[in-house]
Copies of this chain bind each other. A is one copy, B any other.
Amino acid sequence: MTDSPKPKSIEALRAALRQFAAERDWDQFHSPKNLAMALSVEAAELLEIFQWMPDAESRALAADKKAKARQEIADVLLYLIRLADTLDIDLAAAAVEKIELNAARYPADKVRGSSRKYTEY
């Protein structure tokens, strides 16, 4: 449709998930507290794929593990979008602002090639 958002945009996903929950009467379970728990659980399922894997192997992931990672990554995004929606937070705007904040915090010429900026902030 001309007026509908592009199906794969964050906004379109947000709308689809809101309708999905409403149709199932799941808003009662979807408190921000519970959604934050679900998000952490999905993030750990993603982490599990990599847990005993050498770093290099994770950069050339086997097809079956990549397919698994794809599903878990989707789960994380869906709960994240739903959580942002229940908190009335504009997820995309928050992300853009955070990139700008990080750019100011980690000037390229100061932190190049160092992981220190991560561990010390």
Contact = CB atoms under 8 A, between A and B. Distances in A.
Given A8-B95, A112-B24, A43 B54 contact: no
B80 A55 contact: no
A95 B13 contact: yes
A13 B96 CA distance: 7
Interface residues of A, number: 77
Contacts of A97: 74
Contact of A34 (B38, B45, B55, B91): B55
A74 B51 contact: no
Contacts of A20: 99, 102-103
A42 to B, nearest CB: 8
Contact of A9 (B7, B49, B92): B92
Interface string A22-52: 0111101101111011111101111111111
Interface of A: 7-10, 13, 16-17, 20, 23-26, 28-29, 31-34, 36-41, 43-56, 58-59, 61, 66, 69-71, 73-78, 80-81, 83-84, 86-87, 89, 91-99, 102-103, 106, 108, 111-113, 115, 118-119
